[in-house]
Amino acid sequence: MPLITPVILCGGSGTRLWPLSRKSYPKQFVPLVDDQTLFQASAKRLSGATETLNFAAPTVLTGADFRFIVTEQLAAIGIDPGAILIEPEGRNTAPAILAAALHLIDQDPEAIMLVAPSDHVVPDVAAFHTAVKKGLSAMEDGKLVTFGIKPTHAETGYGYLELTALPDASGDAVDLKEFVEKPDAERAAEMVAAGTFMWNAGIFLFKAKDIIAAFTTYAPELTGPVSEAVDAAQVDLGFLRLEPKAWAKADDISIDYAVMEKAHNLAVVPFDGGWSDLGGWDAVWRESGPDENGVVTSGEATAIDCSNSLIRSDSERLEVVGIGLDNIMAIAMNDAVLVADMSRAQDVKKAVAALKAKGADQATHFPKDHRPWGWFESLVVGGRFQVKRIHVHPGAALSLQSHFHRSEHWIVVEGTAEVTVDGETRLVTENQSVYIPLGAVHRMKNPGKLPMVLIEVQTGSYVGEDDIIRYEDVYSRGQGAKG
């Protein structure tokens, strides 16, 4: 069996699933329909060896802020990545896929790539593997293969693929006639009735050399800067950082626009095994399995005399109760609540834009700020103080640091902290506290085998996350809020 390298694209922001998905912690890292995150489910779907397929370790493309989340979530499911390429900034799917192809072809001139987003739901993994097997045959004929989803309804939120012929029961690949932009409702209904139109899943299968040749032919303006960014990439703690100046010269463009809509050797493998990109709360409602009244509740949520509604609480401290609701989505978090008619699911991004315009942190910042050592959340913020809950993973350590504008009080509530203040180190156990004076050089470490939790009280003229100077850091971060 040929070895297939999954290329997992993991840099989107998912604004249509606000408030759960935000720029600082997008939907692929969140458990939306079960206990696993979408990213973890994607990685498991494309791992190991089956009777028909053999997957190599995945290559992941993501941003610097997500690099440790990626490794942490893969480790939690026992997957060791082959390479994690760090994009200096988001430039859409075309530069990302080209960078992965150039990286892989250096390892194997005949490398096979299966490119997939990290935020899709595919319940029937065996059926998906069968479809990939069908795609391999077309790929060996020199085709660039994409996967088309058999429509279940006249969806206006997806682009479509028009096939040259009706797909047959064999599931074999069919040549692509053209890409179709997101239609209006009337056109969508016509296309679904025709039977020759599939939803565009954004999943691709090809040899690295074939997609590089396609870029050279149809998007030569990308090959120079992306090649330079890959050639000058720097290894950093096992990550491969693409060179930022060259990367910035690459156009911000999708693979569809850059190559696929221009190429003449495309084939589509029809897939009807179930699929969703969870592109809105209405999709989450469908995939979560509504009860006999069409109701889905999640977390601390209660529905009374409701129908066709999604009621969800993602805060253990916040109870959400719906009474007499019909066709409503209500999603609550510690710092934001969304209530809307289910038919307006695609308009949630307008809420994000409105919040950005008014400067609300909730537009982009997740309540829990994830770091390589763990996470923290702000419990109370005042004019000259802030109270945080800080969770530190076993064996993890914060950077050696100091602050210009604030002092800190740490109270350990779970586990044991190894605390260093101005060169003096001591253990601080549950119900003990320590004071960090303004300007003191300090560090916190969890020396135990269980998570360590503490409450931090900051006081000073400024309590922003960018008030930090790092002197040493086991995660090789630079200066700035996250480094």
Residue type, 104: L
pLDDT digits (tens, 9 = 90+) for 41-96: 999 999 987 777 899 999 999 998 899 899 999 999 999 888 999 999 989 999 99
pLDDT digits (tens, 9 = 90+) for 442-470: 999 999 999 999 999 999 999 888 899 99
**What is the CATH architecture assignment of 368-472?**
Sandwich (2.60)
Q: Is the pLDDT of residue 483 over 60?
A: no
Averaged pLDDT score across all residues of the chain: 92
112-117/3-10 β-pairing? parallel
Q: What are the φ and ψ backbone dihedral angles of 142, each rounded to 5 degrees? A: 85, 15
pLDDT digits (tens, 9 = 90+) for 112-145: 999 999 999 998 999 999 999 999 999 998 899 9
* Sequence ranges of the chain with CATH classification 3.90.550.10: 3-271
Assign residue 478 a region (left: φ > 0; alpha: ψ between -120 and 50; beta: otherwise).
beta
pLDDT digits (tens, 9 = 90+) for 303-359: 999 999 999 999 888 999 999 999 999 999 999 999 999 999 989 999 999 999 999
Q: How many helices (H) and strands (E) does the chain have?
A: 11, 29
pLDDT at position 482, please? 64
pLDDT digits (tens, 9 = 90+) for 337-349: 999 999 999 899 9
Q: What is the mean pLDDT of residues 224-236?
A: 94
Radius of gyration of the chain (CA): 24
CA 14, 255, 152, 137 dihedral sign is negative
**What is the CATH architecture assignment of 3-271?**
Alpha-Beta Complex (3.90)
At residue 480 the predicted structure's pLDDT band, cuts being 50, 70 and 90, is: low
The residues near 193 (Cβ < 8 Å, ≥ 6 apart) are none
pLDDT at position 446, please? 97
β-partners of residue 75 are none
pLDDT at position 54, please? 92
At residue 481 the predicted structure's pLDDT band, cuts being 50, 70 and 90, is: low
Residue 191's alpha-carbon distances to 156, 170, 257, 470, in angstroms, are 11, 22, 21, 57
* Sequence ranges of the chain with CATH classification 2.60.120.10: 368-472
Residue 246's alpha-carbon distances to 86, 91, 238, in angstroms, are 13, 12, 21
pLDDT digits (tens, 9 = 90+) for 159-211: 999 999 988 878 788 899 989 888 888 898 998 899 899 999 999 999 999 99
